[in-house]
Structure 1
Amino acid sequence: MCFNETNGRISKLMSMIKALPINLSNLQKTVLQQIVRGTTNPYRLVRRAKLILAAASGESNSSISRRLELDRVQVRQWRSRWFEEREKLSAAEEQQVTEKALMVLIKGILSDRPRPGTTKSFTVEQVVQIVEIACEECEKSDRPVSHWTPSELADEAIKRGIVEKISPRSVGRFLKRSDITTTSRSLLVNAKIDDPLKFKKQVKYICELHQEAKTLLEQGIHLISTDEMTGIQALERLFPNKRIKPKQVEKIEFEYERHGTLSLIANWDVARGKVVSPSIGPTRTEQDFSEHIQRTIKIDEKAEWIFIVDKLNTHKSESLVKLVAESCGITIDLGRKGKEGILQSMDSRADFLSDESHRIRFVYIPKHTSWLNQIECWFSILVRRLLKRITVRSTEELSQKILNFIDYFNQHFAKPFVWKFKGFKDHK
């Protein structure tokens, strides 16, 4: 019997073997999808995760083999491996392990087994338990520290009897593999919302404005996102930067001399995706903001204007109320600031400025939702592309460089932001 005939019979026989069924829980499916989307995961791990997801969806071994460019023997091998570990996965979920811990377990299942001759120092279960400790509060283990270190985690793992011995370096390797960092942190703001329903309505309304910006412009209505960037420092580096070289990053001089600060009041045209009528000066007072709005509406004096702003005091000022009243031809008595009428308080002034019947009006974003104001996205671009590495000798030079960057951005990069967020769910 020739080799080709024998090989053909083996392939036919293998194709007749019934594929093992793969059933995934919602959490397992979520973790596998995260592995597939992970940009730093090894290619082999991603492909194996895709294999299990495809098997769970009912795809045949032959189809998976062709699509993922794997041998059918490999497809059956990994399907079998997952099938063998199904009870271990179910047990882990019954113990209500964290998503991070389950990620470690699944990565272990989809990883290559040790080659013959090598011994595995720690089991997957031990690694999962150590990762679980890293996700706990230190006080639970009677340790008066703010966060875990690899040394303390190693000591705690030994103390709890998880392992007989383990080095901090091994613990650090387990944490890195699990994408857990115990020594870094970021700030989180839990905003206090007095009226959740009103909050959701306002967020939804602002999102709708962003998505309808082009339609509004066709109707002659300018939708403008406005805010201030304050305290922009005019820094002069004491020595020139060292430019990038092959295998070397740019090196920026650490020491500098300050030459004052500036404030930028900027408008982002939501429909056109460009910055219009910027104002740069040493302050950002009530008068500065009012004059900035006045210069902005002069671009198209007869058009309607909607300004999206935060709830800063200067955005609900007496000067702004008088400007809007004069520009819209409103002749009613405005009252007196702090005494009576529209000018009485910030709330009364804000109600007037946000009146939808006015040709010029302001929409106020809720507290702690600066991400709703698109100008904040452009401020981030300004910092990354210019301010982060700039060196100037005066505030005048700084001002000119900012204006030059705005012109450059508008000419070459003007493009509306793609706004996909439509508001929070369960909105009524």
Structure 2
Amino acid sequence: MSRLSIAELHKEVTSRGIVAQVSGMTLWRWLSEDAIRPWRYRSWIFPRDPAFSEKAARVLGLYEGFWDNQPLGPRDYVISADEKTSIQARKRKYCSQGPKPQQAMRIEHEYERKGAWAYLAAWDVKRAKIFGRCESKSGIAPFERLVRQVMSQEPYASAKRVFWIMDNGSSHRGERSIERLQAQWPTIIPVHLPIHASWLNQTVMRAITKEGTVRAAC
């Protein structure tokens, strides 16, 4: 029963003659009372990277302030970068009305679609500072613009080492990506996450919590 959907259970109880007719809400309530909730589930994934533990340990070590078992120095920085693609840029069709005494702010639900954008973000783990930009699409050039946005300003421009924690997205994976980044910014040390381990990237949660701001910015 725990593997059946509400619709399948509804069909089953009526076809068996258990009830002549029942609403989905009533069926939902019955299941809740019996602690059977087929609408609830947890996602999980098999670790696919054979070097998962080693790569994850490097990233967690940087978050803690260590690299190769040595503490990071005052001129070392840790950047966690990621891309949040396909953010729908929208504009309200009618202006929102501000709050009044005894009345909450009113937002008209209709909106106009203004296309889809990609939000690229870099999170400074040590300084708790986020850098972000909107691009029409993701790719090598947009990602390098994000890197330039961060690395061209202090304290990163004169830093001894800047560790960039990234996933294995097509715009910044592999040796060619490392060579390309270090050719422009010799102090960058790219650190790639294990495959299918974006949840180790601190930028993911920061970008999600700022999504409302991102939509407005785009």
CA distance in 1, matches of 2:126, 2:158: 18
Alpha-carbon distance in structure 2 between the residues aligned to 1:206 and 1:178? 43
Question: Where does residue 364 of structure 1 map in the other structure?
Answer: 192
- Corresponding residue of 2:213: 386
2:212 is equivalent to residue 212 of structure 1:
no
Instruction: List runs of 5+ in structure 2 lacking aligned partners.
Output: none
SS at match of 2:108: coil
Name the CA distance, whole Å, in 2 between partners of 1:323 and 1:241: 44
Please say if 1:239 is aligned against 2:67: no
Higher percent of residues as strand: 2
The change in CA–CA distance for 1:146 and 1:173 in structure 2 (over 3 A counts) is: closer
Amino acid aligned to 1:378 = R
> Which TM-score applies when normalising by structure 1?
0.41
- Structure 2 residue 165 is matched with structure 1 residue 308: yes
Which protein is bigger by CA-based radius of gyration?
Answer: 1
User: Structure 1 unaligned runs (5+)?
Assistant: 1-133, 139-144, 159-164, 329-358, 391-397, 400-428
1:315 to 1:237, Cα distance in 2 relative to 1, 3 A = same
Cα drift, residue 236 of structure 1: 1.3
The CA deviation string for residues 64-101 of structure 1, in whole angstroms up to 9 with x for no partner, is xxxxxxxxxxxxxxxxxxxxxxxxxxxxxxxxxxxxxx
Query: Where is the helix percentage greater, Structure 1 or Structure 2?
Result: 1
| Number of the residue aligned with 2:136 | 282
Rounded Cα–Cα distance in structure 2 between residues aligned with 1:167 and 1:248: 41
8 Å contact 2:6–2:28 — kept in the other structure?
Answer: no
Name the amino acid aligned to 1:370. S
Once the two structures are superposed, residues 312-360 of structure 1 have per-residue CA deviations (whole angstroms, 9 ceiling, x without a partner) of: 12113746523403543xxxxxxxxxxxxxxxxxxxxxxxxxxxxxx42
RMSD over aligned Cα atoms: 3.7
Give 3-state SS (helix, strand or coil) of 1:367's partner: coil
Answer whether contact 2:99 2:106 (CA < 8 A) is retained: yes
The residue number in structure 1 matching 2:111 is 256
1:293 to 135, 144, 147: 147
Of the three residues 83, 99, 102, the one matched with 1:228 is 83
DSSP 3-state at the match of 2:164: strand
Matches for 1:128-167 after TM superposition, within 5 Å: 134-135=1-2, 137-138=3-4, 148-149=8-9, 152-153=12-13
Aligned residue-pair number: 209
Identical positions, percent: 25
Which residue pairs with 2:179 in the alignment? 321
The aligned amino acid for 1:280 is C
Residue identity in the other structure for 2:136: P
Q: CA deviation at 1:370?
A: 1.3
SS at match of 2:138: coil
Could you say which structure has the greater relative contact order, defined with CA pairs below 8 angstroms and 6 or more residues apart? Answer: 2
Distance 2:16 2:97 in 1: 47
Task: Look up the equivalent residue of 1:315 and give its one-letter code.
Answer: H
Which TM-score applies when normalising by structure 2?
Answer: 0.73
Instruction: Determine if contact 2:49/2:195 at 8 Å carries over to the other structure.
Output: no
